[in-house]
Amino acid sequence: MKHKEKEKPKEQQEPTGSEPVESKAESGGPEELRRQIEVLQKEKNELFGKLQRVSADYMNFQKRAAKQTADTIAYEKEKIIKTLLPALDNFEHTLQNAQSAESKDVFIKGIRIVYDQILGILKSHGVERVDALGAKFDPSMHEAVSHKTEPEKQENIVLEEFQKGYKLNGRIIRPSRVIINKLPSEQEQTKDETVSEE
């Protein structure tokens, strides 16, 4: 025969967690409370001090990073300008000798040398020209300023380059300004034929 366990009286039942549990502070009295307050105050002050140091370090980092960025930009500008100065010197020499040049061809040759030198400098910095003439019009690389009609050539082919475009490390920094071939549509052709018949 099984015995049923008797229910414990309420006073003897184990706490379920919802009943208030007497804290150590209450059992120790006011002295224990003061000691805990002092410990918590000390922890708070330490954390606040750490927060202030981290905040100051972050502000200093932001200032340093901004200065380093500005210094890097200034250094890169200086580097580019220094590479351009020899071309400027050569251009100046060409202009000074323009009066005494034996012929127009010699002067043009001097200008061509300076031009090629500048292109070489730009190439050394990752700048390339966009080849547009004869290419199919690409709005990401070309800017159409006008159009012409040349029936023997394909639609949207670049016929003329008004201004050269350039890429820096593969990214377009200035699109080529071009004139493209625009063939008349069939409607326009039939309209023109009708007008000419009348």
Boundary (domain end) residue, out of 88, 109, 125: 125
pLDDT at residue 98 in the model: 75
Instruction: Give the tens place of pLDDT for each residue, 118-158.
Output: 999 999 999 999 989 999 999 999 999 999 898 888 898 99
Same domain, yes or no, for 41 and 113?
yes
pLDDT at 25 over 70: no
- How confident is residue 161, by pLDDT bands cut at 50, 70 and 90? very high
From residue 130, alpha-carbon distances to 8, 142, 143 in Å are 92, 9, 12
pLDDT at 12 over 60: no
| Between 24 and 91, the higher pLDDT residue | 91
pLDDT averaged over the chain?
82
Same domain, yes or no, for 49 and 70?
yes
Backbone angles phi, psi at 2, to 5 degrees: -85, 140
CATH number for position 100: 3.90.20.20
CA 173 to CA 128: how far, in whole Å? Answer: 10
pLDDT at residue 108 in the model: 85
Boundary (domain end) residue, out of 125, 151, 178: 125
Contact yes or no for 126/159 (Cβ under 8 A): no
Torsion angle in degrees (nearest 10) through CA of 92, 93, 98, 99: 110
Total number of domains in the chain: 2
Instruction: Give the tens place of pLDDT for each residue, 82-96.
Output: 998 999 898 888 888
Q: Tokens 């351009």 label which residue?
A: 84
Same domain, yes or no, for 116 and 86?
yes
Boundary (domain end) residue, out of 108, 125, 142: 125
Range of the domain at 176: 128-192
- How confident is residue 21, by pLDDT bands cut at 50, 70 and 90? very low
Question: In terms of DSSP bridges, do strands 176-181 and 142-148 run parallel, antiparallel, or are they unpaired?
Answer: parallel
CATH number for position 185: 2.30.22.10
162-169's contacts with Cβ under 8 Å and 24+ in sequence apart are: 164/129, 164/130, 164/132, 165/129, 165/130, 165/132, 165/141, 166/122, 166/127, 166/128, 166/129, 166/130, 167/127, 167/128, 167/129, 167/130, 168/125, 168/126, 168/127, 169/126
CA 87 to CA 79: how far, in whole Å? Answer: 14
Same domain, yes or no, for 142 and 99?
no
Instruction: Give the tens place of pLDDT for each residue, 66-79.
Output: 999 999 999 988 98
